[in-house]
Structure 1
Amino acid sequence: MPNHIAPSLIIDGTLYTLLAFSVATWTVILFKSWQFTNNNYRNRRFNQAFWNAPDLAQAASVPANTALGPQARIARRGFAWLNESRHNNDKQLKYIGSPSELLGHLLQVQMQQEQHRMERGLTLLASIGSTSPFVGLFGTVLGIMHAMHEITASGSTSLDVVAGPIGDALVATAIGIAVAVPAVLAYNFFVRRAKQQRAGLENFVISFLHVALNSNDNTENKHGF
């Protein structure tokens, strides 16, 4: 350790780093809790309105009339593609191919974007959960080294002199563990919630494809196309 750097500054820096980790952890926890709760609420409202619509034309207006959640954004993207493909007179590369494959790919891309939104912040939780104990241990090692130098300088090895500084140094490890536990638990919980919501989005994409393509086929048959 360089002589011009006070050990107490490095130890305090370690503790402030852990404090910043803790603030970041609870900020992400609060935000993700709101996000998943809000997504579930909006998906339920959208599902009820969408599947109660009498036809696809009425269902197309549902995303515009409800608060946009993940499923509503997927449906809006799908309806936008259907509308563009019907009114597209010029041959474009993005419309060449099977309509089911093209629309399916488009919905998959939108679903991946929704998944990225759901997983945003989880990497930070995982990083904090894995590094906080080591940051705390680093502070403890420096604290013990600093305590040993002070004990050596004092020339006393009594329990009263040794126990206090070493006990203070161990606080950093305890704080590191205290910061890591909520981050790891929250990460595992939100990963599970993200998988559940992704499964719901996958089911909706399959159902949307079935309804949209069958409705298009019925419309073409009625007009003799």
Structure 2
Amino acid sequence: MLQDTSAQPANPGQNSNADALKQMGFDHLIHNFDFLGWIVFVVLVAMSVLSWYFIVANFIRNSMVRARADKVIQGFWNTSSTQEAIRMLEEQPKGEPFSKIALDAASAVAHHQQAAGGRLAETLSRSEFIDRALRQAVARESLRLEGGLTLLATVGSSAPFIGLLGTVWGIYHALIGIAASGSASMDKVAGPVGEALIMTAFGLFTAIPAVLAYNFFMRSNRLTYAQFDEFAHDLHDFFATGARVEGTAPAAVVKK
């Protein structure tokens, strides 16, 4: 009498290997971390969280600065007097950079006028004093725009290598396990080694957004720096001579 063998596996060893491979993955990798593996994983998670925080924060801040730049600049030049312009600037949000640059220039003018006849006025002319104040203001606001960019650059350059460290360490442990089992077949090697490569992928997923964001913000900041310089140049001309450079002023010009 013939026996039905269709329900029996043709190769029990092959099925057991397939089941073992199905168990491999990120969850299995985490549950088998040692001390160094956890350090690499936590560092990559922290890098990813911090980089995304600064990506979102810088995007919101840069968008607000760019959106308000023309409004603040045009509003300053369209006022009828310096006092009105200063009031308008003081009403701007705390983190608005163009208003801070103009207020520093106005403060420098007032400070120099108060020191007329004193040692300060004898040391620096009105133009030099305003120029120094504007340079300091532009440098300060430029540094504020660069907040978080150093971290993004660090994450972009180091995260792949940290992930690679986790992969090398994982492959090392995988090879030790393979040697202990006494089997070096492809199914015994591919699973653990492929699992260890997850850390390299994690490092790349952490680094790529940071690199793209860093390049984007650097270009965006360069455009804003150019606006800083142009506005500071016009402010220097106005506060030092009482008028802007011809050809750059709008229809209405601030009167002192």
TM-score, length of structure 1 as denominator length: 0.88
Aligned to 2:67: 41
| SS at structure 2 position matched to 1:19 | helix
2:181 alignment partner in structure 1: 154
Q: Match for residue 102 of structure 1?
A: 129
Greater Rg by CA: 2
- How far apart, in 1, do the equivalents of 2:181 and 2:147 lie? 52
Which structure shows the higher helix fraction? 1
RMSD over equivalenced CA pairs, Å: 1.8
Residue 64 of structure 1 corresponds to which residue in structure 2?
90
Contact 1:43 1:72 in 2 (8 A): no
Separation in 1, partners of 2:122, 2:83: 21
| 2:108 alignment counterpart | 81
How has the CA–CA distance of structure 1 residues 45 and 57 changed in structure 2, closer, same or farther, with 3 Å as cutoff?
same
Deviation, structure 1 residue 19: 1.0
Q: Is the 8 A contact 1:46 1:71 kept in 2?
A: yes
Q: CA deviation at 1:30?
A: 0.6
Aligned residues: 211
**Structure 2 residue identity aligned to 1:166:** V
Q: Distance in 2 between matches of 1:211 and 1:146?
A: 70
Mark the runs of 5 or more structure 2 residues left unpaired by the alignment.
1-31, 244-256
* 2:192 corresponding residue in structure 1: 165
Is 1:17 aligned to 2:43, yes or no?
A: yes
- Deviation of 1:64 after TM superposition, in Å, equals 1.5
Correspondences of 1:121-140 after superposition (within 5 Å): 121-140=148-167
Amino acid at match of 2:41: L
Q: Does 1:204 align with 2:231?
A: yes
Partner residue of 2:10? none
- Distance in 1 (alpha carbons) for counterparts of 2:160 and 2:92: 45
CA contact 1:147–1:166 (8 Å) conserved in 2:
yes
Identity %: 34
Deviations along 1:126-180, whole A, 9 cap, x unmatched? 0000000100110000000000000000111122211111011001111111111
TM-score (norm 2): 0.77
Could you tell me which runs of 5 or more consecutive residues in structure 1 were left unpaired when the two chains were aligned.
Answer: 1-5, 217-225
Alpha-carbon distance in structure 2 between the residues aligned to 1:95 and 1:179? 56
Name the counterpart of 1:117: 144
Amino acid at match of 2:159: S
Matched residues in 2 for 1:127 and 1:140: separation?
20
